[in-house]
Amino acid sequence: MERLAIHHANGMEMVAVKDSAISENGTERTLYPYVTGTSVIGMKYKDGVILAADMGGSYGSTLRYKSVERIKHIGKHSLLGASGEISDFQEILRYLDELILYDNMWDDGNSLGPKEVHNYLTRVMYNRRNKFNPLWNSLVLGGVKNGQKYLGMVGMIGTHFEDNHVATGFGNHLARPILRAEWREDLSFEEAVKLLEKCLLVLLYRDRSAINKFQIAKITDEGVTISQPYALKTYWGFSAFQNPSKGAEGSW
C-alpha cells in the first residue's frame, strides 16, 4: 500500500494509507474490487452449452453501470463469463487475446478448445494468487469442440472444477439447488433458456446487485450466439416484499 504524508497548518503530520499498489511495470494493482458484476450461470444442454448473466456493474453498493457485457466469445470453441472486478476481467480478456493470436500464428489447422482455455485460466489465476496479486474474478468457461461439450469454473485463487452446471456468486447458493433438481442432459434450447430464466428471476429477487437486464449466450458446433439484452417479467406484490421486517426478531 502507498503511504501518503498529509501536512496540516499546525505543523502536525498525519499519514494516510491509499488502497492501491504500484507493480514493477508501473501499473496499479487491484487490492480491492471497486466495480463488480454479480452471478454468472452456465449449463450444458442437448446441443451445446448455455451461459447467462445480467449486465449490472456495481460501484460498491451502487448499481452504477447498466450495460456491462460479462459474456465474451473466446477463440472458435469457447464462451467466457465472469463475475467480480470488471477491470480485472478486461485484463483477462487481453491475456486471452494474446493466447488466441499466438495459437492462430501457428497456422497448423488446429485451434484451442475449451478444455485448453480452462486449463490456461486456472494457471493464470493460481499464478497471480501466488504473487499475492490476484485477479478478483470467478470465471465460467464453456464450449464445444468436435461434438464434445465442456463446462468449467475457475475461482480467484485458482480453484477449479468441471460440471454439467455451474454458477458464481449468489448463484452458487440460490441457483445451483434449482439446477440440481431440474437439470437434464437432454434439455432442448428452449427448455434450457426457461430453466436459466427461472434461476435469474430468483437471483433478481434476492440479490441486491442484480438488475433486470440480461444476456444469454449459447455455443454449439455451428457457432456462438449472444442475445441482445432483455428483461424478465417480475412481480413485486408479494407481502414479504411489501413488509420485509415483519416478524423479524430483535429490537433493531
**pLDDT (tens digit, 9 = 90+) per residue, 18-76?**
345 655 666 667 788 899 999 999 999 999 999 999 999 999 989 999 999 999 999 99
122 is an active site residue: no
Dist. CA 139–CA 124, nearest whole Å: 12
169 Cβ contact list (under 8 Å, min separation 6): 38, 39, 40, 83, 138, 207
Q: What is the pLDDT of residue 248?
A: 73
User: Pairing between strand 57-59 and 223-226?
Assistant: unpaired
pLDDT digit string, tens, across residues 170-228:
999 999 999 999 999 999 999 999 999 999 999 999 999 999 999 999 999 999 999 99
Dist. CA 167–CA 186, nearest whole Å: 20
**Residue of 30, 38, 122, 168 with catalytic role:** 30
Domain definitions of the chain by residue range: 1-32, 33-234
Asked if the model's pLDDT at residue 16 lies above 90, the reply is no
Q: Is 28 helix (H, G, I), strand (E, B) or coil?
A: strand
Let me know: does 150 contact 179? Beta carbons within 8 Å: no
CATH of domain 33-234: 3.60.20.10
* Rounded mean pLDDT, 78-94: 97
